[in-house]
Amino acid sequence: MADGLSPSHTTETTLTPAPTQGSKPGRPESLCVQALRDLLSNPPERLSGLSAFQVRLVTPAAARSATRAQLLVPDKGDSRPLFLAGCTKQRDAGPVRRLLKGSFIHPGEASWHTFPDLSGGALDICEDQLHATTLEQARREVLKIVVHELTHATDQIAHGADFSSCAAVACSEVRAYDLGGQCDDVEPGRKRRECVQSGAEWSSIDVCGENTAPVVLGVFEHCYGTPMEHNFTAAGAARLAAKTAAAGLK
């Protein structure tokens, strides 16, 4: 088990009504939900950074029945920012996105949103974009996604990255593809770096537009190979800002 995060620190938000007599049993949980539950309940070392957040698994049933306040109000006495995680289908508005008062549909596997009025954010995994056909495959795939999005959460909430800035997004995407493991199956060295750079370009294009490739190239050496840095300090934010400033970009 990863240090600092035990099952008691992970709040599973179900809020599912008890079945009434004669009602049909609930649908079996998807591989995505099962894998996410397992990873949050017994996180491997790569997810040790979740201990800096107040983590909640939001099941589809909970998202349908709960109010925004029920899901987003922090636990009493816990000052850590929220990290909500849930699964949805790409064609749906998404349970977590609905709570954020929007229905942004991301074309990829997952998306990270911050709360405009609260400390924290939410990860919404598009389960119909996963390739896994077994629970073990789903655990490996979801782990990569969670670490990738945890990197964005750390950069934005802990380090103060401004994601309206093309350079900040590009740097965070380089770090997320590097740390998340999406390129782990590529041979080390130049090809792995090319994989990270290509992924960062694809994921930064919504913010950077036609400047994506040169900006990613400009920040790459300053952002590739950097640790997660979970510390929620001004120094962490300053280090991240220094990386993009060193590249002469804002």
CA distance linking residue 117 with residue 125, whole number of Å = 22
pTM equals: 0.78
As beta bridge partners, residue 87 has 125
Residue matched to tokens 């997320």: 176
Is the model's pLDDT at 54 over the cut of 60? yes
Residue among 179, 113, 115, 172 nearest 145 (CA) = 179
Q: What is the pLDDT of residues 33-53, one digit of tens each?
A: 999 999 999 999 889 889 888
Residue ending a domain, choose from 158, 184, 202: 158
Using CA atoms, how far apart are residues 141 and 133, in angstroms rounded to an integer? 11
What is the tens place of the pLDDT at every residue in 146-161?
A: 999 999 988 888 788 8
Q: Is residue 19 part of a domain?
A: no
Is residue 76 included in any domain, yes or no? yes
H or E segment to which residue 138 belongs: helix 135-153
106 & 203 share domain: no
Contact 103, 97 (CB under 8 A): yes
Same domain, 95 and 57: yes
Q: How far apart are CA 29 and CA 73, in angstroms?
A: 25
